[in-house]
Chain A
C-alpha cells in the first residue's frame, strides 16, 4: 500500500505533501505507486480531481472525517478526506500494491526520487490494512491517522510564525506525520 497525503488550503493550494508507504507487515515505508516513474504528477491530478467529489460530500456529511470519497479505477487509487473547521482539507490517496502479475518493470531513477519512490521491485506487502482499501479496518486506521495529523496540524497552525495559508515547512510536523503514518497505516 502506498500513500500520498496532502493538506489543501481552502483555495486548493497545497500546504503540505508527503508520500510514504506502509510500515505494517514488514513494509519499509517507501511509497511505490503504480504509475511509471515519470508519471508521479498523476497523484496530484487524482487528488485534484477528487476535489469535485469532496465539494459535494462536505455538505452531505456531518462529520469531519468523510471516509473514502473517491476512486480512480485505472490505477486503483482511493481517496479519503478529512475536513478541518478552518476549511483546510486533508486528502489521503491510498493505493494497494501491484499484483505480482502486472507489468512492473523496475525503472530508471527519473523524477521518482522526488517522492522517495525508488521503484525497484514490487513487493507484495500484505497487511490487513493493505488488503482491502474500503474495508472498515482501513477506514478506521485512516481515521486514526487523520485525527493524529489534525492534532499536530492544529499545534503547527497555532505557532506564532505560521500564517494562515502558508506552506507548512516545519520539520517537526513532517516527522510527526511520518510517525503517524508508521503507527496507523
Chain B
C-alpha cells in the first residue's frame, strides 16, 4: 500500500512475470507504444493506490485540530486523480528516465527533521514492533508527504509539489558521525552493490532491469539505488546544512505521569544538555511538540485536556497523534505494510541485508518488489505492519507538521535572512566591506594560516575548520540551503554565487567546494533557466573547481563522487550538448578511480546512457552519438561478463545492438574486421555463460534447437524481429574452451529451460 506519491514511474510491463524471464523485454517495441503503456500503468497504479487510502480529511476531522494558524493553506485538497507528472514537475517534454533521476536528486535534498522522544513514547512504539522507537515508526512516512505541498518562493509566487518529503533522523545521531567504522561509506556502497547483484542473480537469475521497460536512457534500478545511497551517504557536516535539523520533533506519550515537565526536560536536553548538537549547527530550529495518545489504554478526554495545555504553553506547533498501542500482525483485518524507506544509507542496507530472512513463502512478493522498483528490499521480510488507522494518523501528522510548521518556518527564515544578511551583502557597501577585507587583511590571513592560529580574515575558525553558525557566511550558506530545499533554485543560485568566493578567500576549502557544487547544481535544476540561457562552460567550471577542492584540497572522496555524479545526471537531463560534458564527467569519475570495480561498470553504462540520450536533430540526423553509445555499451557488456554477470552483460549487449542498429548498414555487421571479431566473441561468450549459469551445456547445441529460439516462437512476440545478441551465432567458435566446468546435462529438455 503506497500513497499516491509513491507510485513509481518504473513499472514492469504486464508480460514481465517471473515465469517468462528474459524474452518478454519489450525494448524493441516502438517508443510511443512503450511510453503510452507505461503511463497507462502508472495512472492506473496511482489511482488504485490513492483510492484505497481513505481521504485524509475524513480522518483529520475528528482530531482536535487548531484552527486559524497564520499559515494555514489549502494544501489539503489532494487530487490524486492527477498523475504526478502532470502537475508536480515543471520539466515537461523530457524522457521519463531523466525526469525520474531529476526528481530523485531533488528529493534527496529534503529538510532534515530530528526526532527526540521521551522514554515512555519509545516504550510504547517498541511494543508495536518498531525496535528503533518513534523515529523508526514515522521515518518511512516522511519520505513522501501525502498530497501537494505548496511552497512560496522569495518573490512570492507559489507552486505546488506532489513529491515533497522530509527526512527524519534520530536526534541522538546528528553530528555523531562514526569515523571509526571499519570501511568507508564508498566501500560499503560497493559491498551493497555486490550483494544486490548476487541476490538478483540468485533469484532465478532473471533480468531485473527496468531498463528493458523504459528504453535505454532510463537509469537501471541498480544505478538508481547506487545514486540514492550516494546522495544520502554524507553525514551532517559543517560545510553544508542539508543534514542539520530544520526542526526537532519532541514527543511524549499519554502514559507519561508528568508530561509538561518531561517536555521541558527534553527541550533542555536538546539545547544545553549533554546531547546537544555540535557547535556548527545553528541553534535556531523549530521545536515541534507531539503528544502520542494511546488509543487502547488511555482516556482521550485526558489527552485532549493535556493537549490543550500544551498548546497554551508551547504555542501552535503541537500535534496530538493517536496510535493504538498493540502490535499489528499481517493477519489483522486492517493491517497495512509500513512503506519501505527509500533513503537508506549503505550501512543500513548492509545491516538490513543481514537480517533479511530467506522466507520461501515471501519469494513471490519479494520478486514482485524486485521488478517494481528496487533491487534493494532485502529487509522487507522484517518489515512490520501497522493498523490502517495508525498509518493514516501518522500521515496526517506529518502533513500537518510539514505544511503548517516546517515549510512556513523555512520560508520565514529565508525571507528574514535574505532581508537582513543577504541584501546587506548585495548592496554597494557590502561589496566594499568584503573587498576591503580582501585587500587589507589578505596578507595577515596568509600569515595566520601559516601560524595556524586565529587572526584569520573573517569568521572562519581554521583550527576547527568551521564557521560559527552566526557568522554571515554560515547564515548565508544556510539560507541558500533552505532556499534549495524549498526548491527556490533561483535564490539559492544567486546566494551560492555570492558566497562562493568568500570561502575561497578564507581558505575554507570544504565550504568552497560545497558552495561551488551547489551553485552549479541549483543552476542546472532551475527550470526557468533554459539550456540556452545558462552557459554550460561556467557550469563546467564550477564543477571543476568543486571537484578540485573536494579531492585535492580536502581529499573528501564521497563528496567528490557525489558532486561528479550530480554533474553527470543533471547535465544529462539537460539534453543537447550538455550530454557530452555529462559523459565527460562520467569518464572523469572512472579516471579518478572514485568508484570500485562494480561502480566502474555502472559508470561505463552511464557514459553509454549519456551518449544515447543525445538525440539527432533535423532530417540529416546530425549530432547523434549512437556509435559512441554503442561502443560504451559493448564495453560495459564486456566488463559485466568479466565480473561474472552474464545476464547483465546480455542486456547491455542487446542495448548496444539496438544503438548500433541505426548506424550500421546491415544488422550486426560491423565494417571493421576486428570490431566484428570482438563483438562476435563477446556475443558467444555471453551466450555460453548465460546458459551455463542456468546449468545448461551449450556446447553441442546447434542453432536450430537453441532454447531461446524456441522460447521466442512460443511467446509469439512478433513485434521483435529477433534477439540479435543471442541467436544466429556460430556455435562452433570455441565453446569447448569456455565450457570446462560443470558436468554435462545429458537431457537438457527445452521445457525445463523455460522454467529454469
Q: Is there contact, CB below 8 Å, between B674 and A40?
A: yes
The CA-CA distance from A49 to B624 in the complex, in Å, is 11
The CA-CA distance from A50 to B663 in the complex, in Å, is 12
Distance (whole angstroms) from the CB of A98 to the closest CB of chain B:
15
Distance (whole angstroms) from the CB of A45 to the closest CB of chain B:
5
Interface membership of A85, Cβ < 8 A: no
The CA-CA distance from A44 to B678 in the complex, in Å, is 11
The CA-CA distance from A56 to B671 in the complex, in Å, is 20
Q: Is there contact, CB below 8 Å, between A41 and B678?
A: yes
The CA-CA distance from A14 to B590 in the complex, in Å, is 31
Interface membership of B622, Cβ < 8 A: yes
Interface membership of B446, Cβ < 8 A: no
Q: Is there contact, CB below 8 Å, between A48 and B675?
A: yes
Interface membership of B705, Cβ < 8 A: no
Interface membership of B672, Cβ < 8 A: yes
User: What residues of B have a CB within 8 angstroms of the CB of A47 in the complex?
Assistant: 672
User: What residues of A have a CB within 8 angstroms of the CB of B627 in the complex?
Assistant: 48-52
User: What residues of B have a CB within 8 angstroms of the CB of A13 in the complex?
Assistant: 671
Q: Is there contact, CB below 8 Å, between A48 and B672?
A: yes
Q: Is there contact, CB below 8 Å, between A44 and B665?
A: no
* Closest Cβ neighbor of A54 among chain B residues: B627
Distance (whole angstroms) from the CB of A25 to the closest CB of chain B:
27
Distance (whole angstroms) from the CB of B548 to the closest CB of chain A:
17
* Closest Cβ neighbor of B665 among chain A residues: A11
Interface membership of B365, Cβ < 8 A: no
- Which has the most chain B C-beta neighbours within 10 Å: A12, A41, A59? A41
Q: Is there contact, CB below 8 Å, between B628 and A12?
A: no
Q: State how many residues of chain B have any CB contact under 8 Å with chain A.
A: 27
* Closest Cβ neighbor of B614 among chain A residues: A52
A1-25, CB < 8 A from B: 8, 11-14
Q: Is there contact, CB below 8 Å, between A14 and B665?
A: no
Distance (whole angstroms) from the CB of A101 to the closest CB of chain B:
14
Interface membership of A55, Cβ < 8 A: yes
B589-640, CB < 8 A from A: 590-591, 620, 622-628, 630-631, 634-635
Interface membership of B64, Cβ < 8 A: no
Distance (whole angstroms) from the CB of A154 to the closest CB of chain B:
23
Interface membership of B703, Cβ < 8 A: no
Q: Is there contact, CB below 8 Å, between B622 and A73?
A: no
A 16-47 binary contact with B (CB < 8 Å = 1; else 0): 00000000000000000000000011011111
B255-295, CB < 8 A from A: none
User: What residues of A have a CB within 8 angstroms of the CB of B630 in the complex?
Assistant: 49
- Which has the most chain A C-beta neighbours within 10 Å: B591, B620, B663? B663
User: What residues of B have a CB within 8 angstroms of the CB of A11 in the complex?
Assistant: 665, 671
Cβ contact of B628, chosen from A41, A43, A49, A59, cutoff 8 A: A49
Interface membership of A74, Cβ < 8 A: yes
* Closest Cβ neighbor of A74 among chain B residues: B587
B656-674, CB < 8 A from A: 663, 665, 670-674
User: What residues of B have a CB within 8 angstroms of the CB of A12 in the complex?
Assistant: 663, 665, 671
A 63-93 binary contact with B (CB < 8 Å = 1; else 0): 0000000000110000000000000000000
Distance (whole angstroms) from the CB of A51 to the closest CB of chain B:
6
The CA-CA distance from A171 to B179 in the complex, in Å, is 66
| A73 in contact with B672 given A49-B627, A55-B622 (CB within 8 Å) | no
The CA-CA distance from A41 to B672 in the complex, in Å, is 9
A 100-136 binary contact with B (CB < 8 Å = 1; else 0): 0000000000000000000000000000000000000
| A41 in contact with B677 given A12-B671, A14-B671, A14-B672 (CB within 8 Å) | yes
User: What residues of B have a CB within 8 angstroms of the CB of A46 in the complex?
Assistant: 631
| A48 in contact with B584 given A11-B665, A41-B675, A74-B591 (CB within 8 Å) | no
Distance (whole angstroms) from the CB of B668 to the closest CB of chain A:
14
The CA-CA distance from A167 to B144 in the complex, in Å, is 63
User: What residues of B have a CB within 8 angstroms of the CB of A73 in the complex?
Assistant: 584, 587-588, 591
User: What residues of B have a CB within 8 angstroms of the CB of A74 in the complex?
Assistant: 587, 590-591
Distance (whole angstroms) from the CB of B576 to the closest CB of chain A:
13
Q: Is there contact, CB below 8 Å, between A49 and B665?
A: no
* Closest Cβ neighbor of B679 among chain A residues: A41
Distance (whole angstroms) from the CB of B185 to the closest CB of chain A:
26
Distance (whole angstroms) from the CB of A153 to the closest CB of chain B:
18
- Which has the most chain B C-beta neighbours within 10 Å: A44, A47, A56? A44
User: What residues of A have a CB within 8 angstroms of the CB of B678 in the complex?
Assistant: 41, 45
User: What residues of A have a CB within 8 angstroms of the CB of B677 in the complex?
Assistant: 41
Q: Is there contact, CB below 8 Å, between A52 and B628?
A: yes
The CA-CA distance from A14 to B630 in the complex, in Å, is 19
* Closest Cβ neighbor of B674 among chain A residues: A41
The CA-CA distance from A48 to B630 in the complex, in Å, is 10
Q: Is there contact, CB below 8 Å, between A44 and B672?
A: yes
B 668-707 binary contact with A (CB < 8 Å = 1; else 0): 0011111101100000000000000000000000000000
A 151-181 binary contact with B (CB < 8 Å = 1; else 0): 0000000000000000000000000000000
The CA-CA distance from A148 to B666 in the complex, in Å, is 34
The CA-CA distance from A41 to B624 in the complex, in Å, is 23
Q: Is there contact, CB below 8 Å, between A44 and B675?
A: yes
Having A48-B672, A73-B584, one finds 14 other A-B pairs with CB under 8 Å, namely: A11-B671, A12-B663, A12-B665, A14-B671, A14-B672, A14-B673, A41-B678, A45-B675, A47-B672, A49-B630, A52-B627, A52-B628, A56-B623, A74-B591
Which 10 A-B pairs rank lowest in CB-CB distance, beginning with the nearest?
A44-B672, A41-B674, A41-B678, A49-B628, A49-B627, A49-B631, A12-B671, A13-B671, A44-B675, A52-B627
7 A–B contacts, CB within 8 A, in A order: A11-B671, A12-B665, A41-B674, A46-B631, A49-B627, A56-B622, A59-B622
